[in-house]
Amino acid sequence: METKNIKAFGTEAAEAPLKTLDIKRRAVQAHDVEIEILYCGICHSDLHSARNEWHGTIYPIVPGHEIVGRIVKIGDHVKNFKVGELAGVGCMVDSCRECENCKNDLEQYCDEGSILTFNSPDKHLGGIQTFGGYSESIVVDESFVLHISDKLDLAGVAPLLCAGITTYSPLKHWKVGPGQKVGIVGIGGLGHMGIKLAKAMGAHVVVFTTSLSKTEDAKRLGADEVVLSTDPEQMAKYAKSLNFILDCVSAEHNIDSYLNLLKVDGTLTLVGAPMDPLPVTSFSLILGRRSFAGSAIGGIAETQEMLDFCAEHNITSDIEIIGVNDVNNAYERLLKGDIKYRFVIDMASLK
Ligand code: NAP
Ligand code: ZN
Ligand code: ZN
């Protein structure tokens, strides 16, 4: 297949810093859209993957799945996009499209495994892995490309493609809305979007943070109440009080202490993906008929719904724009929680 060499930013080993790499993109096929990438968000999953913390990374890796840019070329059979339009790509670039889950707009749970934007087998080029959005451009089948409103700040939209949909999907699935008390745990990229979205859906939002310095911000983002989770006295006040909790924490933490904050029939859903197991005490679930659940990103149709919801409610991510050469430093700051609340790379800096 015809290919084109482009510049990207990635790494060849778990311990090595990210640097400029040359990668190949396929030439635009009949159903493909080629996007010049303008901004790409930095998700904690990029760091987990680049450093092989989930033990499946194939090197070299080019992370990045919060991609926004402008369409520069389309294939002959592309129906829904035009050259010159804004477009977005999130965590997936393809799936089998035939299994029950794909047919139900749940491509993220494809029985064959969805093709992720980076580090999945590239079925077009064969024998190599997909490369993500820390790059000049990307070529994606239009079925996995999203429409982006030009009403919102484009750089602030980029994180919606992962942090936005990953929090929107479970909030919708567990029917979060008016009259409900919802807990959001961890104010990072995902958590800060969870606060904004849960608030926009009409819930009473209680935020749990380990960072005292984020309490005022949490209120500005939409929290009705903020709890310092390291203070047992503050935590005790919320026992059996919440209908739903969305856990957005990237590292090990005590799940029981959050399960005990749920009312009868309440659910705690994990979207944060720490590498080590998280122990749960049986009685935290039994006494209260509580559920402990998980959720992965969201399907393509739901991602478009979320982007439209954000355009309607004027919701974007709170970001810090960086150049590509600041990515390694940004990873270190991410580990320290030193970001309010998402790094976004200005891809012009790669040129
Ligand atoms: P992030 O920006 O680094 O935020 C993580 C937050 O977790 C921090 O801001 C901090 O919040 C809290 N935290 C960090 N270390 C902690 C510790 N040791 N104890 C308690 N709290 C701690 O990360 P992110 O990009 O939002 O991603 C969060 C997690 O979700 C990652 O594991 C990522 O891989 C995963 N993820 C999952 C999906 C999915 O589909 N399920 C999609 C995207 C990302 P406070 O300072 O407020 O305490
Ligand atoms: Zn992500
Ligand atoms: Zn499938």
Domains of the chain, earliest start first: 3-162+298-350 (3.90.180.10), 166-294 (3.40.50.720)
* Vertex 41 angle, CA 24 and 52, to 5°: 65
CA-229 nearest atom, ligand 1:
48
pTM, full prediction: 0.98
Distance CA 108, CA 114 (A): 6
Q: Residue type for 250, please?
A: S
Tokens of 108: 């993220």
Q: Whose CA is nearest to atom 44 of ligand 1?
A: 45
Asked if residue 168 has pLDDT above 90, the reply is yes
Averaged pLDDT for residues 135-139: 98
CA-191 nearest atom, ligand 1:
26
91 DSSP 8-state letter: S
Distance CA 295, CA 226 (A): 24
- Ligand 1: residue of 40, 42, 44 to mutate (most ligand atoms within 8 A of CB) is 44
The residues with which 247 forms a beta bridge, in sequence order, are 185, 270
CA-341 nearest atom, ligand 1:
2
| Tens-digit pLDDT profile for residues 87-125 | 999 999 999 999 999 999 999 999 999 999 999 999 999
In this prediction, what percent of the chain has a pLDDT beyond 90?
Answer: 98
Spell out which residues line ligand 1, taking CB within 6 angstroms: 43-45, 48, 162-163, 166, 186-191, 209-211, 214, 248-251, 253, 271-274, 295-297, 334, 337
Tokens of 290: 């509580």
Tell me, letter by letter, the H, E, C secondary structure of 125-154: CCCCECCCCCECEEEEEHHHCEECCCCCCH
Q: What is the pLDDT of residue 127?
A: 86
Q: Whose CA is nearest to atom 15 of ligand 1?
A: 251
3-state helix, strand, coil in the chain (%, to 5): 30, 30, 45
CA-218 nearest atom, ligand 1:
47
Averaged pLDDT for residues 40-49: 98
Which are the contacts of 172, defined by CB distance < 8 A and separation ≥ 6?
201, 302
Q: Whose CA is nearest to atom 39 of ligand 1?
A: 296
Q: How far is CA 42 from CA 8, 51, 118, in A?
A: 14, 14, 13
User: Ligand 2 centroid vs 264 CA: distance in angstroms?
Assistant: 31
CA-108 nearest atom, ligand 1:
40
User: Ligand 3 centroid vs 109 CA: distance in angstroms?
Assistant: 7
Length of the chain: 351
User: Ligand 3 centroid vs 108 CA: distance in angstroms?
Assistant: 8
Averaged pLDDT for residues 203-213: 97
| Tens-digit pLDDT profile for residues 308-329 | 999 999 999 999 999 999 999 9
In this prediction, what percent of the chain has a pLDDT beyond 70?
Answer: 100
| Tens-digit pLDDT profile for residues 257-273 | 999 999 999 999 999 99
Averaged pLDDT for residues 233-262: 97
Asked if residue 45 has pLDDT above 90, the reply is yes
Q: Whose CA is nearest to atom 22 of ligand 1?
A: 249
Distance CA 153, CA 108 (A): 27
Q: Whose CA is nearest to atom 9 of ligand 1?
A: 188
Counting ligands in written order, the one closest to the CA of 272 is 1
Averaged pLDDT for residues 33-57: 97
CA-163 nearest atom, ligand 1:
43
Neighbours of 78 (CB within 10 A): 20
Neighbours of 166 (CB within 10 A): 30
Distance CA 83, CA 332 (A): 37
Distance CA 63, CA 46 (A): 5
Asked if residue 195 has pLDDT above 90, the reply is yes
Q: What is the pLDDT of residue 259?
A: 98
User: Ligand 3 centroid vs 318 CA: distance in angstroms?
Assistant: 34
Q: What is the pLDDT of residue 289?
A: 98
Q: How confident is the model at residue 145 (pLDDT cuts 50, 70, 90)?
A: very high
Asked if residue 205 has pLDDT above 90, the reply is yes
